[in-house]
Structure 1
Amino acid sequence: MSFSSLPVIDLKSNSDDIHQALLLACSTTGFFYVSNHGLDSLQSQMFSMAKEFFYLPLNEKQLYSLNTTSYQGYLRIGRENLDSTNSKLMDEKEAFLIPQSDLNKKQQLPNIFSHEENFKLIEQFFQQCYDLCMHLFEYLAEIFQIDRDYFTSRHKWDKAPGVALKLLHYPPINQIEQNINVIRAGAHSDYGSLTLLFQHDNKCGLEVFDRLTNCWYPVEARDDMIVVNFGDVFEYWSKGMIKSTIHRVILPNNINEQNHSRFSIAFFCDPNGDTLLTPIPSKLIENHIYTKDEHAKHVFNDNDGHVLTAGEHIRMRLNKTYQY
């Protein structure tokens, strides 16, 4: 399996085909597509709402600037650095983060999001994305031949840090002051377990990195498919069998696309904070020897043999990400 062709998991196919495609993603790319997910209408409505917010004047958006304790709120362009190997490379994007805890703090959200109909839409989107992740976790447990609730029990809905939504807007190149060698989102791996990425209007730019060949490959934008990737937690859990794949967002080669905005939505599914990052009890990995490559050495802190919790790892990664 090459990074130039990601596995596709059709949720309407039989369980054997799903297991085979998911195992292929685990052992090769760490990225895959999910089709027939049932979220098409919801994601379309979410993108309409996100655009309405991002097209507001900057001073209005900054009334809801990011809270660095709860990681909720608005991030303007140049305030996030996903590539922790280059502290000077700031991302050319703006974002709004909504952690699950904000579903109980409706009054802290912008009017666009707290409006009754839109807020119900956000709640529904959260729930269906979470349900999809739990469904995938059950398939993963079956693949690794462990208790079916092994992963789902470590992602309880009502325990922190829970899940989070990140609405993203990459402005056109003609709105960026320094538009030479623009990186819309720096090279990074995700911090948690699974990420669902919704892309919009077939706008390209997402790339994945093959750590064996040191090559970047484009990920085709498909409105009818969700891009799913494993995060750092699964590299810990699988003793490195599953790679937390590095990815980035660049400007597309097409000039017409460069002069248009790109929108996407990321749904981050993180384990409960007290979850230990110890290998899963699976025969598939019991003889696997984990040799860390340069990315893993940079990202994963052994802490002198101390077993990290998911909360400790995610906090460590977040602290390297945000610049003010």
Structure 2
Amino acid sequence: MKNTLKIITIIFCILTITFIGKVYYESKLNNVSLTTFNPVKQTLNKKVIENYFSKNEKLKKEAESIIKEVLLKDLGYKDWSNYSEYIELLVYPVDIIDTLEEDLVIGVNLSKDLGAIAIYKPYNDKYVYSHKIDNLTKIKNISFIKNESDKKSFIIVEELLDEQTGSYFIDNFTRIFTKVDNQFKEVFRQSTDYTAFLFEKWTNPSLKNPKWFKLVEKSVIDHVSEGTKDLTLFVSKNLSKYESKDTDTNLNNKQFDLVTEKNFDTIYIWKEKYKFFIMGEGKVISSNEIVGIIEDNTQTVDYLLNLGDKYYKVINRNGEIKTIKSSEIEILENYSDKKPD
């Protein structure tokens, strides 16, 4: 009997200690502050974002850690968590999903040539993951514009692709994304500072006295939404081709001379029926299909090499993009020939 009573007493003490410990542990969890959190267990609440923009470096650093953990999980890059300290964030509170409140757009650079964007919408005191834009290169800047006629929002992403080692080119370019069929899709792209080198022997090994070419494209993009029916882009570009008489395969210390230069001023207008920025419209001769014109290859720097035919890149109302020879399309309208409405 004494042994039974002793066992019951021991069990009671163990249960009591366990209960007290559990209550104490849960009370500690309920009183976690921003300075004592475990980032993996945090949600993306508005206080975290507020602290990210704080002048207090400790609060900012801890908030950044939370944002990275949540962001990598939501984007499907959880395996990158071990490299969190090397990952760069760009955080923008802005109304982009027409919630009448500030959404949250977060850009992330995982490496020198891999970036992504996550978009969160507000819900009570938190931000809830909504959309993503992936397959980006290094993000330099993100900005935003609205089409005044229908308040449609656009995300402008400035990117960098540096392939100077191996592929001999570097491309600073701008892409524009907007919501199409509940996804954010690319609707415009333009290089703003592009340089590439090409050695003739790469494409023609038997060529005697092959030349080195240097191709340069520089562009300025302006946009106008006020006073126009649709959002309009003005692109001024300069294309240049340089040659080197030095036929040595080594690119170092080459002297290049300008041999060809062209300038273009092109207008692109947002057209909802194509859900794309187009420079005009044309009719496919074989089918009489009306299409939007996205690109004229004679206005690209590669065309200065005279390597191929003249063609257009076009889009139809189903969002299908294809390339077509200039002889196979009738140009109905070129927006650059007149002022936009």
The structure where strand makes up a greater share of residues is 2
Of structures 1 and 2, the one with the larger relative CO (CA 8 A, separation 6+) is 1
Fold-level similarity (TM above 0.5): no
TM-score, normalised with respect to structure 2: 0.23
Higher helix residue share: 1
Which structure has the larger Rg over C-alpha atoms?
2
